[in-house]
Structure formats: structure tokens, C-alpha cells
Structure 1
């Protein structure tokens, strides 16, 4: 079973040090997502529809809302992965155009060779998280240096207009944008996709096609992303039980919620909460 060794969270987003030995389902994040190998076996991720290696010398780079999954080879040993989920609003503090990290096309490609500096910073961040999990200020400083190095190496950041996120939004069909807002605002049990098809007032096939072309992921994946973000917020910031979170999100049983959470995060909600509290 995969193990969360350390989890840090703050205005920057989340950083997880994960000892992985199981695959993750196809999912997405509203964040800039960077995956770096710390030690163990080489492994791989599927980004879009292609497989990309994660090795000592290569990183996997995932744009916001880009579908991806972790493909674990059960024959290989475990892999220790540093997973960065970085908030576009935090990156915007460095350069306005870096708010583009929440939009498609931020990374030139989903895979790239890491520089010695990126490798050193990743190893430093992982080691510091293990040795001093409560030192969030130090972690954020190292993460800042690491993300600057990653962006400068793997993105065409000099060409990003400050309004790239607004440009991306303007290309989204207004009906789909309205439905996506309704999905994000949901509280309590989540409605199924068919109810949103009716609200959009279009055929099912047209809704699915237009949603994916506008947002970048199918509606079912988008709903799961929203549901997972609600779950993470409750696990990290709210003093309620896992069973209460499960009920709030509309799962029939807490075991179903735990499996959903593990399939997306690598570990269950209780472990995720307990490990994250080491950093508080």
C-alpha cells in the first residue's frame, strides 16, 4: 500500500512526499502539477493518452485540468515521489503571467530532463520535509526556488501575456462555463452528470463534446476533481470525521469515500490528515 511520508500545505498549494506502490485513477487538478522522483525504481505516468517516464533525470509536468494517471508496475520496487500541486495565485506573486499555470499549454510538453539545480532543490525539499516537517516557511522558500527553476526550464514563460487566463476563459462556451460554476458551487451530495446535461439544454453527446473542448476534461472527471477538492478542504481544514465528510459528499458508505480518496491521492483520508498535521 502507498504511504504518505510528508504533506505540506499552504498558500502555495500542496506538496506531498509519497512512497508509491499502487496506481492512481485518471484524474486532474486545478493546479500546476510537477512530479519528481526522489528515490526507488523508475516509474511512469500517463498524461493525456501517452506514457511518460519519471526517473532521476526526468520530470513529469502536468498542466491544470490535464487528465493524467499514475501507472505503477507491480513487478518493480516502490518509488518515492515528490508531488507538487502549486496554486496559480501563488505563482502570480512572482510574475503576473505565471497565473497561466492554471491554463492549458503552460508546459511545452509533459516530460523533460531535469537540470542539476532542479534535482538538488527537489532532494533538499524532500529531505527538509522529512527532517523538519513543521518548518513551512523554509519549505516554501525552497519550493519557490524549485518552481522558478522548473518554470524557467520547461515553459515559454517570457511569452505569456498577463491576461492568458482571461483569454482561456473567453474561449469557453458560456453555457459550459455556467454549468462548471454550478458544479464548483455544489454543497452536499453531488448531482449526476445527466442533471447538468438538462440544465445546459443540449443533447448529451453535444454537452460531453462541448464540455471537454471548453474545459479540457470530460464532465465526469471534472465532477470528480471538484469532489476531491471539497474532500481535501474538509480533510485538511475542518474538524469533522471522515464519516461526516463522506455523508456530506454523498457517498453511500465511508468505505466508498476512502477508496475514492485513495484512488486520487494515493493514500486514504485519515492518513492524509494525520501526516499533514505533522506540518502544523
Structure 2
């Protein structure tokens, strides 16, 4: 079974050590996403249709809101990963430069000796009982090393992207008012069982037209976006409240704790009980 060794929430976002042996469905995060192999069998992360093998020599970078999935290399023993979820605003503020907008230039990162050293440092600090004052500094240095490397491979590209880059779409910049309205409604109706059907109707669109229009303007399907909202809401309640897991699931529109656990495991990688057990909020 996939499990968590450590989960740390801070101003930067989340830093985790996961041992994963189960596939993860297509999902997304509003944070920038970095995955580093620590121990076990190589695995594959697929982002925007492109496979990235994650092993001792290669790590994976996923942009904010970029849809991606995971396939483990060892369904029995599992693989240990350092997985980072970096908030773009934190990376921008710590970098103190507009050039620090968090968008990676490519999905593959070559694990240099410096990156390997930082992965080991961050992983070791995650396993300590108390978080070190050095943690955020090492984390930024690791993220920056990876970010800079991805743009070294794309010297003529810009970190700010262009209009053809769907996963760089800022939600406040969605032009179609119907898509903007549907995003607002999803946030308001996060626990509705038939949220997407009613949102399509209330936006004056047929279901097929709604899905097509949303994907064109937002760069991902409404299902993935709504699941991201539910996942974020669940993680927040698991880490910041003592609300029973069954209640969290029911509030998010799931019929039972079992169905909520299946959803959470498929999107986060580990069961909600496991996540709550090891999570630390700094």
C-alpha cells in the first residue's frame, strides 16, 4: 500500500516523502510540482501527454495547473519519492524578481550532483522531529536549481509563456465570461453531487459544449479542476481541523468514507488517514 513517511506544510507549499506503489489518475495542482526519486524502482509521470521516467538520474517538473498522472514502477515494494508542491507566489517573493515566475521550461530535470545533494538534505530534514530553520533555504535552492536548468534547455523561450500555453493560463485572465462564471460556481458548489451538470446548465451551455469551452480556455477539463478544489479542501481540513474523515467526505459530496478514500488516494497517492497521521503544519 502507498504510504507517507513525512508531510510538511509551510509558506512554500508542501514537501512530502511518499512511498508509492499505486497509479494516480489524471489530476492537477495550483502549485508547481517537483518529483525526485529517492529509493526503489523507476516510475513514470505523464504530463500533457508526455512521459517522464523518474529515476536516480532524472526528476520530473510539472507546471501549476498542468494535468498529469503517475504510474509506479513497482506495484509490490513501491518507490520512495521526495515530492514538492511549490506555491508560485512564494517562489516569486523569495526570488525577488519578476523573472522568478514559476513555470518550468521542460518536464525533465537532470539530477546533477548539486541537485542530488539538496534532495538528500531536504529529505533528511523532513524526517526530523522538528523542522530546521534551514529547511526553506534548502528548498528554495533546490527549486531554483531545477527551474534554472529547465530554461537552460530552452534558451529562446520565455518563463512567461504565450497564449498557446494552456497550463500557464491564469484563472483571472480567462476571457469567456461563461467559463469564468463556471469557475465561480465550482468554488461555491464544491460539495454538490451533480455539480458539473448543474453548472453547465446554469452557464447556459450543453454538457459537451461546456466541457469543450472549459478545456479551450482553462487548459484542463472541468472534472480535473473540480477534483483539484475538492483535493485542496480535503487536505486543508485534514491538516487544520479535527473533523472526522467521514464528515469531510460527505461535505465534499461523497456518499461514504470508502468512496472519499478512493478519490483521495487516486489523486494524492495515499489514504486520508495516512496523510493526517504524518502531516505537520509549520
Q: Is the contact made by 1:59 and 1:114 (CA closer than 8 Å) also made in structure 2?
A: yes
Deviations 1:200-240 (A, max 9, x none): 21232222111012111111111111111111111111121
Q: Residue 8 of structure 1 aligns with which residue?
A: 8
Q: Residue 174 of structure 1 aligns with which residue?
A: 177
Consecutive unaligned residues of structure 1, counting only runs of 5 or more, are: none
Q: CA deviation at 1:19?
A: 1.0
- List aligned pairs for 1:54-93, cutoff 5 A: 54-74=54-74, 77-93=77-93
Q: Residue 150 of structure 1 aligns with which residue?
A: 146
Relative to the length of structure 2, the TM-score reads 0.88
Q: CA deviation at 1:77?
A: 4.4
**Matched residue of 1:26: which SS?**
strand
**Residues 88, 136 of structure 1: CA spacing in aligned structure 2 closer, same or farther, 3 A cutoff?**
farther
Paired with 1:169 and 1:126, the residues of 2 have a C-alpha distance of: 35
Q: Is the contact made by 1:8 and 1:136 (CA closer than 8 Å) also made in structure 2?
A: no
Q: CA deviation at 1:80?
A: 0.8
Q: Report the aligned-residue RMSD.
A: 2.6
Relative to the length of structure 1, the TM-score reads 0.88
Q: Residue 203 of structure 1 aligns with which residue?
A: 206
**Residues 234, 190 of structure 1: CA spacing in aligned structure 2 closer, same or farther, 3 A cutoff?**
farther
- List aligned pairs for 1:89-104, cutoff 5 A: 89-93=89-93, 94-97=95-98, 100-101=101-102
Q: Residue 135 of structure 1 aligns with which residue?
A: 131
**Residues 234, 48 of structure 1: CA spacing in aligned structure 2 closer, same or farther, 3 A cutoff?**
same
Q: 2:263 aligns with which of 256, 260, 268?
A: 260
Count how many residue pairs are aligned between Structure 1 and Structure 2. 274
Q: Is the contact made by 2:41 and 2:74 (CA closer than 8 Å) also made in structure 1?
A: no
Q: CA deviation at 1:261?
A: 0.8
Paired with 2:99 and 2:83, the residues of 1 have a C-alpha distance of: 19
Paired with 2:263 and 2:100, the residues of 1 have a C-alpha distance of: 29
Q: Residue 108 of structure 1 aligns with which residue?
A: 105
Q: CA deviation at 1:97?
A: 2.9
Q: 1:118 aligns with which of 115, 118, 122?
A: 115
Paired with 1:22 and 1:47, the residues of 2 have a C-alpha distance of: 17
Paired with 2:150 and 2:264, the residues of 1 have a C-alpha distance of: 30
Larger fraction in helix: 1
Deviations 1:105-152 (A, max 9, x none): x2222123122211110111101211x142153322211111111111
Q: CA deviation at 1:168?
A: 7.2
Paired with 1:167 and 1:51, the residues of 2 have a C-alpha distance of: 25
Paired with 2:150 and 2:170, the residues of 1 have a C-alpha distance of: 21
Q: Is the contact made by 1:88 and 1:98 (CA closer than 8 Å) also made in structure 2?
A: no
Q: CA deviation at 1:185?
A: 3.4
**Matched residue of 1:146: which SS?**
helix
Q: Is the contact made by 1:97 and 1:161 (CA closer than 8 Å) also made in structure 2?
A: no
Paired with 1:120 and 1:71, the residues of 2 have a C-alpha distance of: 26
Q: Residue 234 of structure 2 aligns with which residue?
A: 231
Q: Is the contact made by 2:3 and 2:271 (CA closer than 8 Å) also made in structure 1?
A: no
**Matched residue of 2:19: which SS?**
strand
Consecutive unaligned residues of structure 2, counting only runs of 5 or more, are: none
Q: CA deviation at 1:73?
A: 3.3
Q: Residue 52 of structure 1 aligns with which residue?
A: 52
